[in-house]
A = this chain, B = another copy of it.
Amino acid sequence: MKLLTPDELEAALRDIGARRYHRLHPFHAMLHGGQCSKGQVQAWALNRYYYQASIPLKDASLIARCDDASVRREWRSRLVDHDGEHDGDGGIARWLKLTDGLGLDRDYVTSLKGLLPGTRFAVEAYVHFVRDKTLLEAIASSLTELFSPVIIGERMAGMLSHYDFVTPETLSYFDKRPPQARRDSDFALDYVKRHARSPQDQQAVLAALEFKCGVLWSMLDALAYAYVSPGLVPPGAFVPDVT
């Protein structure tokens, strides 16, 4: 292992994204390419809800063991983004507008009863990773946001043009995310470039991003297996209404 310059580290991180980010997954192509049925879009939104709802938990556990007030303040903006200022505000509430718009019962979505086991385990792996690993690794695991503005752009344009059951209002979650993700990933990238100063730390940073890409990837694997091909829904999970 050799010590990378900060710019080499950034290049290595971007290379992981180019090879492992879930933008490369066929379910993403189906979703924004208009090949999903309404039931498949529902399954995606219902499962992804658990990811959205868990983001403040992982961010709070990161803040909870950070002894630098300036980092805590910066990271706090993520709590504001997701939880908002009042009931009905923030990213989680906007995600529920999407599941409402898709005709899913809100109590059913938030009960998590229809969740795929694969979604549950992937999301919980992320929460545990952030809670249990070093602060540097926890921050590095957020760096998939470097790549999210592109995937969100594809998703919004594709979904709006292909699905008559999707409206700009139901997709309001995605309007807000790209500038937030850019601000957050600029901060996190700068942090890891400045703080990963040994080859061991740099390898840990790279492994953290690989781990996180695996979280997002395996969520789409689980969706595709259950709802596309062979379409085998695990016992107890959401079954789309085919009427």
Contact = CB atoms under 8 A, between A and B. Distances in A.
Given A117-B214, A124-B121, A214-B120, A226 B221 contact: yes
Contacts of A210: 236
Contacts of A225: 221-222, 224-225
A122 interface: yes
A19 B234 contact: no
Nearest to A222: B221
B124 A128 contact: yes
Given A122-B117, A124-B121, A125-B125, A234 B222 contact: no
B26 A221 contact: no
B117 A217 contact: yes
A20 B229 CA distance: 20
9 contacts: A20-B236, A25-B232, A26-B230, A117-B215, A117-B217, A124-B128, A213-B235, A222-B222, A224-B225
Interface residues of A, number: 31
A71 to B, nearest CB: 27
Interface string A155-191: 0000000000000000000000000000000000000
B230 A217 contact: no
A34 interface: no
A20 B215 CA distance: 24
Interface centre among A19, A117, A120 (most CB of B within 10 A): A117
A218 interface: yes
A221 B125 CA distance: 17
Interface in A224-242: 224-226, 229-230, 232, 234-236
A222 B218 contact: yes
B229 A118 contact: no
Given A117-B214, A224-B230, 14 more contacts: A20-B236, A116-B218, A117-B218, A117-B221, A118-B221, A118-B222, A121-B121, A124-B125, A124-B128, A213-B235, A214-B234, A214-B236, A217-B235, A221-B226
